[in-house]
Amino acid sequence: MNVKSIAVLTAALLSVITVGTWYRVDAQNTQPTTQKTSAPKYTNIRNGKGFPIKGGGNAFQPPNLPQSNKPDESEGKRGIIGWDDRVPMLSRRYPWSAIGRVQGFDRQGKGYHCTGTLISDDVVLTNAHCVINPETGQFSQRIQFLPNVINGQVTNRDDVAEVTEVVYGTDFSGSGLENQVNDWALLKLDQPIGLKYGYLGWKALPSSTLIRNQGKYIFVGYSGDFPNNNRKGYEFFTAGPGWTASVQNGCSIVREERGVLFHDCDTTGGSSGGAIIAIIGGQPRIVALNNAEIVNQRTGQGLINLAVKIDFLDRL
């Protein structure tokens, strides 16, 4: 990538990181689940080094929660997949159980959604731009985590967790590429739901290793264009797009530029904060964090997607 290309990329990045559609809290399906009186506490990593993450990067599968390698298995109906290689995440089993929807609200009550993954009993991994508006710099005033949402439903509404504290890597006050390198956030929950749903471990691998293993990664995200219940076989997804996660198996990390990973996993708004997962030693491990897509401003078509390296978790 030459100097001119890097300059264009840097200038465009803040305009292409996307979250799910913004909406008012009085619109359908957007009301907060429980009453909340105070905003989360926000801490930049410069002041929050040593943020405790139980488990030390290891995964946890609850003993009473079966494991499944099939994200689209269900005792009921399932989508009929045609040309789209994404499948709906219909499984309530581990590790799919540890992935959920991050639901945020700004000061005016306007809402949005991203994707998050439990990495400890009470900590969720997502993007910084899912809790800080890159355009205004405003922090979200309320954030919830809805674990394992399928067609708008959680297993138990009491498990919808409130975020009490946020540790983040960037506040987007600069315009450099380093904002993408540090586009991550850790959400501290008000209850240890990871003991029930399990949580994923992570593994910081060299970029050369990530790139060499083409077609070996799994991506999960609550994409704003999926599922489309107007499509044949998807009619039963009555909650609409963004309320059932999509899973893509077999995508790749294609290169690294200045500390930013480039990948070809299918992403749209709402899948920000989704984990890129590898199976290591038979166990799922997070190896990167989806955060943005580069869009050709002339054609409006997506060109390539960006991801955050996961080694910052080891530094914590």
Walk along the chain (316 residues) and give the pLDDT tens digit of each residue.
444 444 444 444 444 556 664 432 322 234 555 555 589 999 998 766 668 788 888 899 999 998 888 776 654 333 222 335 678 888 999 999 999 999 999 888 888 999 999 999 999 999 999 999 888 888 999 999 999 999 999 999 999 999 999 999 998 876 667 778 899 999 999 999 999 999 999 999 999 999 999 999 999 999 887 766 767 777 777 777 889 898 999 999 999 988 999 998 888 778 899 999 999 998 899 999 999 877 655 555 556 789 999 999 988 7
Neighbouring CB atoms inside 10 A of 69's CB total 13
Distance, CA of 111 to CA of 103 (rounded, Å) = 7
Residue 194, sorted as left (phi over 0), alpha (psi -120 to 50) or beta, turns out to be alpha
What does the alpha-carbon distance between residue 245 and residue 248 come to, in Å, rounded to a whole number?
Answer: 10
C-alpha distances in angstroms, 108 versus 102, 105, 134, 139?
18, 8, 16, 12
Residue 49's SS3 state is coil
Q: How many CA atoms lie within 13 A of 55 on its CB side?
A: 24
57: left (phi over 0), alpha (psi -120 to 50) or beta: left
Tell me which DSSP letter residue 173 carries: -
Only one residue has tokens 């995440």, namely 89
Q: Find out whether 39 and 32 touch, Cβ atoms under 8 Å.
A: no
With 0.95 as the threshold, say if the pTM is over it: no
